[in-house]
Each structure stands twice: as C-alpha cells, then as structure tokens.
Amino acid sequence: MALQELSQKLDRLIRPQSFPIGIKILPESQALPEKATRPARYNIQISLCQWTTVARRWGRVVGVLAEDVNCSPCLAGLGLKKMQDRSVLSDYFLEMGYFDTKELAERAMEALDPLPPGALAGVAMFPLDQAQMDPDLIVIYGTPAQMARLAAGYVYHTGELIASNTTGFGLSCLSLVKPFWTGKAAFVHPGRGERILAGTDETEMLFTFPAANLAALVDGLEKTHKKGSRYPIQSYMLYEPPQIPSVKALADKLT
C-alpha cells in the first residue's frame, strides 16, 4: 500500500493535528532529498526539533546535517559531533541543574545511551504524502488519547507493549530516532527544550516506530476500530442525568 494511502487512513482513524512524518536516517554517503529545505536557506542554524515542527506543521520536506544544528546536546546525543569524553554530557546535565549529583547525571546519561560519532550524518523529514524516499521511521504527534489508539493498533500485530523513557528536560531528538537502532516503537514525552524551541504544545507527545511496521499499524487500527475502539473517544451518553433542586423546581412549573 502506498505511503499516501496509509497517511490518509491515519488521518481518518487518528485525526492528528499535524502531518504524520517519515524520517530518513542518512549515512555519510547519502545525500539529502533534492527539494529538502535546510536552515541555511534562512541563514540560520537550528535545533533539530524545530525542523521536525517545520515538517509536521508546515508540511515541508526538510533536511538537516551537522553544520545546520547549533543545539549542542543534540549534536552530542546524535553523534553528529564527537564528544571529548561521554562524561561531558553528564557534566552538562549537572550544570543545567537536572540532577542532584554527578553520579545521578552519569547514570541518566548511560541510560540515554547517546549514539556513537558517525552513527548518522543527517536526517531528512517529510509528510508521508510527500515522500521522495522510503522512510526509516514514522513519527506521529498527538494527544495521550490519540497515543492510546496508536498503541492499540500497533500491539494488535506485535503483542509487545510500548515503552517510554522520559527525562522531562530534553533530548527528545535522541528518543525520536532511537527506534532505527532498537527496532522497537516508543512513546516520547517532549521535554523542556522542544517545547520552548520548537513550539510543541503542552498537550502533545509523539509515537515513533520503524517504517516497516506502518502497514501493520494501519491494519491494526482499522480492525480495532471495527470492534469499537475509536478516536475521537466515544463518551457514554445513554443515561438520564439527575435533576438538581433548581432544575426540578423549574420543571415543575412547565406544562
């Protein structure tokens, strides 16, 4: 099934407020799509999450290489630039006030597991109906209720519960691309950085998963939809509400 048709079905079944996007992980030898918009077009450098917003809200085909990014945590976490030592990231966490001790900052850094230098050279991001190349990952932003529907559709064919590792402070860019290496879907709660810099709404989170599972997700959504699990959520309406005294008093005066 074509990406455009799958995207249309996602729109019908989930009704996201922004475009579901495809992400292509670019090795050193692979070029960005010909029509991909880079930050240099506007004479700026950016955080990666800003360009995710441009793809999903503006509907643009965009691309980012290391020289386009000025967010040093992103550069370090994605291996776009080499850290002198992995401890520099935990030092940054401590300096930002995210942890009480150096040991706790180091524990979190190890759990986040930054990508090694050269793991990727850049990323391309695009609405699914504008794909110029086959995506490696699919990313869908939405509300927690929409995420619940996506989970139900995804586990229908996998039987695997979907995990979420959350820091609350940032590096959602790392969590966004990690399924390319783990092969596992993930829920991501965007942190402070993405909400400040990229305009991600406080009601939004995201679902990221390998693109090879997109058709199975849509099939799971359609089949669970037929069984009654739907979005928007169907509030139960088949009941008679009680009348408070003032309402009852008015009712007694009606003929």
9-51: pLDDT as tens digits:
999 999 999 999 999 999 987 889 888 999 999 999 999 999 9
Residue 157 resides in a domain: yes
Are 176 and 208 in contact by the 8 Å Cβ rule? The answer is yes
pLDDT tens-digit profile of 200-229? 999 999 999 999 999 999 999 999 999 999
Encode burial over 179-208: b for 16+ CB neighbours within 10 A, e otherwise. Answer: bbeeeebbbbbbbebbbebbebeeebbbbb
Residue 247 resides in a domain: no
Helices (H) and strands (E) in the chain, counts: 11, 6
Beta strands at 122-127 and 205-210: parallel, antiparallel or unpaired:
unpaired
Structural domains counted in the chain? 1
- DSSP-derived letter for residue 46 is B
Residue 13 resides in a domain: yes
Residue 98 resides in a domain: no
Encode burial over 45-64: b for 16+ CB neighbours within 10 A, e otherwise. Answer: ebbbbbbbbbbbbeebbbbb
Q: Model's pTM, two decimal places?
A: 0.94
Residue 104 resides in a domain: no
Q: Determine the structural domain holding residue 13 and report its residue range.
A: 3-82+117-233
